[in-house]
Amino acid sequence: MATRTVEVGSSVGLHARPASLFVEAAQATGLAIEIGRPDADLIDAASILGVMALGVKHGEPVRLVAEGDGADAALDSLVELLERDLDAEA
């Protein structure tokens, strides 16, 4: 099992556009990926409603977990995505 912790770089946190881009990228990996706060239960990263319901704000850490072939590379790419201010890139 691969795991990563990253601080969310988007100025609006994981809401609206940044959440949508993250969920699309998570789905594109073809792996079961989970996301959540470091000290809380994880949810399916492919669920836009679940990701938005986390209420993660700018600068807050999230934990990503994945299993399967390519899990490390998939999480590395998702970490790079989450570190950027996706809302500013519109």
Tell me the catalytic residues: 15
DSSP H helices, the chain, are 16-28, 48-53, 71-83
In the chain, how long is the greatest CA-to-CA distance? Answer: 33
